[in-house]
Amino acid sequence: MAYYIGVDIGGTNTACGVVNENCEIVARSKIKTNSSGNSLEYIDVLKVIKSAITAACEQAKIDVSDAESIGVGSPGVCNSESGIIENCSNIAFDNSPIRDDLEKEFGIPVYLDNDANAAAFGEFMSGAANGTKNAVIITLGTGVGAGIIIDGKIFRGSNYAGGEIGHTVIVVDGLPCGCGRRGCFEAYSSATGLIKMTLIAAEKHPESIINRLIEQDGRCSARTPYNAMKAGDPVGKAVTDNYVKYLACGITNVINTFQPEVLCIGGGVCNEGDILLKPLKEAVAKQIYSKNSRHNTEIVVCKLGNDAGIIGAAMLHKS
Amino acid sequence: MAYYIGVDIGGTNTACGVVNENCEIVARSKIKTNSSGNSLEYIDVLKVIKSAITAACEQAKIDVSDAESIGVGSPGVCNSESGIIENCSNIAFDNSPIRDDLEKEFGIPVYLDNDANAAAFGEFMSGAANGTKNAVIITLGTGVGAGIIIDGKIFRGSNYAGGEIGHTVIVVDGLPCGCGRRGCFEAYSSATGLIKMTLIAAEKHPESIINRLIEQDGRCSARTPYNAMKAGDPVGKAVTDNYVKYLACGITNVINTFQPEVLCIGGGVCNEGDILLKPLKEAVAKQIYSKNSRHNTEIVVCKLGNDAGIIGAAMLHKS
């Protein structure tokens, strides 16, 4: 059996898995990316990655050098050709030569890509986009992450910074976005965006069940407006309807642009299942430019959850 | 010298060119696509295409069979693999097997693609995107047409209907668009959109020079607000500033998604030169997600004008 090591660097944890050729994780490790709480240097993150790799291989009872390759998914602009992380907004990477440094340490081939690309490649290799050649994977989380697969390969753009679909504006002069623009898809369709819209509606409507649910749970989550809606609350219904409206807008934009075979959506809010998916699919079907085409994009839910990042990273040698 | 025939089917005219291997048009013909004024059938358009090809070759003093290939750029969803025009909104194509029909007639290989894709490929082969591997070409005309080149190949999407960037929404609930959506990039950034915004501003401001210019010229064109602005009219300035705002929004969306080496814009409004380009580039530079990248997309003006469609069609054998 051949083994491949996948590393998923996150702002909070760095996760590592030993993956077999069937894309199954046979052993894993997880280490806090920043245990000191001080500002992180590349050299510190490199140590964390090395420890995570060693720990996962110990658990799998293999030597690192027994594995075929290491794949790393990292936040930031990752030059997959040079193996250098050019820059990153939340970890202090600055032209960090992670591929060469890990190859020197472990003596096996190392592959690097952006974490959203790696997760998309995971869904492509063994998840919801498996068996296709063209797919877009969108994750509705803190932000809206996206990975694009064209002809079975990760699409990166000429400077490795492409695929930032979350930062395409759908509402000129709309809500402010972390990227500095206003009205980005991410500002409306991320879980964070949904929570913000829920809190605004709750304040406007003190009578809404939403307020009671927030008090019960001690916080507002992306689930809160859906739970309110399911309990018959008209404010919850309005919030979730509005969420679907913006989500359908952004997804239709992606379909009109890429016309992938499948568009996979992931993130906690997808746990709502058909309550989210049915109205979403209906809204998209009404709007797409390719209404008359014989083949239209299928909208499906991601299958691998957080494992997508590890599996995709481990399989980067095929990207 | 090898020759390639390029056909550009338009709603008004069908243009044909004999193109040499340096992408130069050495002879051309132009025939009204619909001379009868009655509703067009595929069989009628096919006749027009055959006549245009024969006429261009006569002018070039070659037999059609002396050419290496024929390339056809057509409106609608063009399946470049099967050579069939699947459907089209303004000409009655309905699974029309244009490749096989022309190959039967002329006995040389025939290639088919969408007209916007063909024009983009023309700019890629010998115009503003020449020498790159990744480019997006956007034409600001009656609509907003787009062609996407990835790794030197035309990107078509899995059902050949991709690249409809003009029909991505930038203003949820915005101006109505011909595609049925509201707030499409095309509704704001096409020449048609600019003219509409100019007319609205002129009506609101009877004192604006715009009204005088429209009277003088007998019509409002995309040039009108720019001429007013150049003459010191604050309303003209407001209209053109607003136009650049929406155009920059849509173009930034494209860059954040594709990160092409060059983004080429074409269409009459580009004749304004730096008056359009300077504020456009400044607005885009402020908004792009890849501000920290060492390589950013260069925004340039298309070089081939209407010839792009013929040249790109003629070169489709390389796509």
Does the pLDDT at position B287 exceed 90?
yes
Is the same domain home to A147 and A77?
no
**3 state DSSP class of A94:** strand
What percentage of residues in chain A have a pLDDT greater than 70? 100
Spatial separation of the C-alpha atoms in residues A106 and A63, rounded to whole Å: 10
User: Which amino acid, B284?
Assistant: V
Inter-chain touch A77–B292, beta carbons under 8 Å: yes
Per residue in B63-113, pLDDT (tens digit) is 999 999 999 999 999 999 999 999 887 788 999 999 999 999 999 999 999
- Distance CA(A188)–CA(A291), nearest Å, equals 25
Q: What is the pLDDT of residue B155?
A: 98
Query: A256 and B293 in contact by Cβ < 8 A?
Result: no
CB contact under 8 A, A77 and B157: no
Q: Is A163 on the interface with B (CB under 8 A)?
A: yes
The predicted pLDDT at position B82 comes to 97
Higher pLDDT, B67 or A90: B67
pLDDT grade, residue A303 (50/70/90)?
Answer: very high
* pLDDT, position B72: 98
| pTM score | 0.96
Q: Terminal CA-to-CA distance of chain A, rounded, Å?
A: 21
Residue B88 pLDDT = 87
Confidence of residue B200 (pLDDT cuts 50, 70, 90): very high
* Range B27-37 average pLDDT: 90
The residue to which tokens 């730096």 are assigned: B274
d(C-alpha A269, C-alpha A229), whole Å: 14
Residue B177 — very low, low, confident or very high, per pLDDT cuts 50/70/90?
very high
Please tell me whether residues B117 and B47 are part of one structural domain: yes
* Backbone conformation region of residue A224, classed left if phi is above 0, alpha if psi is from -120 to 50, else beta: alpha
Q: Give the pLDDT of residue A88.
A: 87
Three-class DSSP category at B131: coil
Size of interface A-B (CB pairs under 8 A): 135
Cα distance between residue B186 and residue B33, in whole Å: 25
* B139: CATH: 3.30.420.40
pLDDT-derived band at B267 (thresholds 50, 70, 90) equals: very high
Sign (positive/negative) of CA torsion A181, A185, A187, A188? positive
Which of B168, B179, B184, B262 is the best mutation test for A, with the most CBs of A within 10 A?
A: B168
User: For residue A209, is pLDDT > 90?
Assistant: yes
Percentage above 70 pLDDT, chain B:
100
**CB-CB: which of A132, A257, A296 is closest to B159?**
A296
Is A167 in contact with B134 (Cβ distance < 8 A)? no
Q: Are residues A143 and A165 in the same domain?
A: yes
For range B192-216, the mean pLDDT: 97
Task: Indicate the pLDDT class of residue A91, thresholds 50, 70 and 90.
Answer: confident
Give A19-72 pLDDT, tens digit per residue. 999 999 999 999 999 877 777 789 999 999 999 999 999 999 999 999 999 999
pLDDT at residue B87, as a whole number = 87
A139-150 as b/e: b if 16+ CB within 10 A: bbbebbbbbbbb
- pLDDT at site B38: 77
Q: What percent of chain B has pLDDT over 90?
A: 92
Q: Which domain holds residue B157?
A: 132-301
Count CB neighbours of B22 within 10 A: 8
Helix A209-217 × helix A223-230 angle, to 10°: 130
Are A102 and A247 in the same domain? no
Q: Are residues A162 and A243 in the same domain?
A: yes
Per the CB < 8 A criterion, the answer to whether B175 and A264 are in contact is: no
Output the CA torsion sign for B196, B200, B205, B211.
positive
Task: Round to whole Å and give the CA distance between B284 and B260.
Answer: 14
Nearest to B125 by CA among B271, B46, B23, B240: B23
Structure tokens, A58 = 């110990």
Amino acid type, B14: T
Question: Domain check: are A99 and A189 in the same one?
Answer: no
**A161 inside 8 A of chain B by CB:** yes
User: Which stretches within chain B are classed as H helix?
Assistant: 42-60, 98-106, 115-126, 185-189, 191-204, 209-217, 223-230, 234-258, 274-287, 307-314
pLDDT band for position A276 (50/70/90)?
very high
Do both A175 and A289 map to the same domain?
yes
Are residues A16 and A68 located together in one domain of the fold?
yes
CB A287 within 8 A of CB B181: yes
Same domain, yes or no: B50 and B115 = yes
What pLDDT was estimated at residue B9? Answer: 96
Nearest to B295 among A159, A181, A256 (CB): A159
Count of domains observed in chain A:
2
One domain for residues A162 and A291: yes
Residue B192's pLDDT is 95
The answer on A222 and A250 residing in a single domain is yes
Phi and psi (nearest 5°) for A97? -85, 65
B residues 30-69 lying closer than 8 A (beta carbon) to A: none
Q: Are residues B23 and B116 in the same domain?
A: yes
B226-255 pLDDT, tens digit per residue, is 999 999 999 999 999 999 999 999 999 999
